[in-house]
Chains A and B, each alone.
Chain A
Amino acid sequence: MTILVIAEHDNAALNAATLNVVAAAKEIGGDIEILVAGEACAAVAEAAAKIDGISKVVVADSAAYKYQIAEAMGDLVAELGAGYSHILAAATTTGKDFMPRTAALLDVNMISDIVAVESADTFVRPIYAGNAIATVQSSDSIKVITVRGTGFDAASAEGGSAAIEANATDKTSATSAFVSEELAKSDRPDLTAAEIVISGGRGMGNGENFEILYKVADKIGAAVGASRAAVDAGFVPNDMQVGQTGKIVAPALYIAVGISGAIQHLAGMKESKVIVAINKDEEAPIFQVADYGLVADLFDAVPELEKLL
């Protein structure tokens, strides 16, 4: 049994989410190989080869994979993955984009967003925005799986010395091409990797008011997130959304500010170790999941919090 893990990266650095995927692969058991598909991505391949427990790294270095376009990735992974028992990728917007294409090309179903491994063919995944947890057994010959990072402790990034093998397969897409991108620029930690997350909701009132959260975040090294309501209202960009259809986070400390706590938001953060809620409405559902609740006006409480930290 050999498992193929698809590396998540930006051609320069390996994304930490890959380490959680490797951890899931280890629980399945068997040899683990990593595919790095990108352009000028040698540094990523070297990082992947150092991950503990990897037997081989395959590098597909081509302009076709520079932006990990789903059509090219789907074709590549379906072709290379055909000989493996499992194909795993992170449940990021990249993994979610190409993995179903891979599965369909291999004529198998796919198991999305697993949070636990029961055995080599049985996996646990949340459904209905995390309001139910399903245990699913697959009889497909190849298991195509995306892994939710918060379900698995990261594998060690050091200790391995896997061989790196080049692969020249070129699956340039004739129908899809990169046009442009607007990437969020932030010196704060990545939302999904941060130890502390402070998020604002509709109660923030507008985008400028998020400044008081940024001040707290910068003092304690936190990432800043938002509820769907705050993103829909245009306060902050989409990459900050935490929830069922946004990012799933599970930091050591999650501070929800002016967030009422819709189930779709809770789905994205309720695995956090400690949850703090600051809201002036003491009936807000967020208090039902908070370890520490503070009923207060956030515009008084947050600046005071910043001072006391």
Chain B
Amino acid sequence: MKVLVAVKRVIDYNVKVRVKPDNSDVDLNNVKMAMNPFCEIAIEEAVRLKEKGVATEIVVVSIGPKVAQEQIRTSLALGADRGILIETEEKLESLTVAKLLKAVVDKEQPQLVILGKQSIDSDNNQTGQMLGALTGMAQGTFASEVVVEGDKVNVTREVDAGLRTVGLSLPAIVTTDLRLNEPRYASLPNIMKAKRKPLEVVSPADLGVEIKSTQTVLKVTPPAERSAGIKVADVAELVDKLKNEAKVL
């Protein structure tokens, strides 16, 4: 079966985030960018499905500026077969992203679509579910285990109360949580091979999707700073402070 994986180029998760002095946005100038960590887990899951003989082809799609080809190439080096970049310089909201992905789903007809549960920049946690609604597909969000059996997939989800497993008819959508797998690193030969794998570039207009924005970011500010407190010498002093100074015990 064909698996479609969506990946996003975001700020590297190790980079210290700074807000621009004019409070218009986060400063991304000269900042290291990388694949969203949850998307790496999505690619890894697709590759494992292919290694098990469940998946036959892995198509990776990204939406963003031309440089997002880097993240597609990384995905190809990790084991995806071909890539699609929907090239746009505009900052997109989740509904538009979901509509663009729906256009790709309509064309590619994958049996499984795997996405990260959220991107670590906007922290929205929306796109996979929106794509589910637009395509009419069932969804297994925040997945920690994915088992394909015939025309069904069982997805174990990390929920607030523990773990819950849902059974979905294929085609279906999976969004990844942290413990689904541990992504591998790309080997040098595979990085070389990835350069020759096909990568198609299309525009939102090619897919017939109009870019619409309904949200305006009025300002972006740094969070309230929490100042470091004091060091206590021992447990006795700690308990004394909690009881008599902070009064929380």
Contact = CB atoms under 8 A, between A and B. Distances in A.
Interface of A: 10, 67, 69-71, 74, 78, 92-94, 96-105, 107-113, 122, 126-140, 173-184, 192, 196, 220, 228, 231-232, 237-239, 244-245, 247, 252-253, 264, 270, 273-276, 282, 287-296, 301, 304-305, 308-309
Given A98-B129, A292-B238, A232 B178 contact: yes
Which 5 A-B pairs have CB atoms at the shortest separation, nearest pair first? A100-B129, A291-B229, A175-B138, A104-B133, A176-B138
B123 interface: yes
25 contacts: A67-B164, A70-B139, A96-B125, A96-B129, A96-B142, A100-B128, A103-B95, A104-B131, A104-B133, A108-B95, A109-B214, A110-B124, A127-B121, A132-B26, A132-B221, A136-B217, A178-B166, A183-B162, A238-B144, A239-B162, A253-B246, A292-B229, A292-B230, A294-B235, A308-B239
Interface in B65-123: 93-95, 98, 117-118, 120-123
Nearest to B222: A132
Nearest to B159: A93
Interface size on B, as a range, is: 35 or more
Interface of A is mostly: mixed
Nearest to A266: B226
A279 to B, nearest CB: 11
A131 B121 CA distance: 10
A136 B172 CA distance: 32
A253 B216 CA distance: 36
Given A105-B133, A244-B123, A290 B162 contact: no
Contacts of B220: 127, 132-135
Nearest to A141: B214
Contact of B123 (A100, A112, A274, A275): A112
B215 interface: yes
B231 A181 contact: no
Contacts of A10: 161
A132 B138 CA distance: 33
A16 to B, nearest CB: 12
A239 B17 CA distance: 28
B248 to A, nearest CB: 4
Contact of B228 (A101, A273, A290): A290
Contacts, number: 260
B95 A107 contact: yes
A140 B214 contact: yes
A116 B154 CA distance: 37
B235 A305 contact: yes
Contacts of B231: 282, 287, 292-295
Contacts of A134: 217, 219-220
Contacts of A94: 159-160
Nearest to A303: B235
A92 B232 CA distance: 36
Contact of A97 (B124, B141, B232): B141
A237 B144 CA distance: 12
A155 B219 CA distance: 28
Interface string B194-238: 000000000000000000001111111111001011111011101
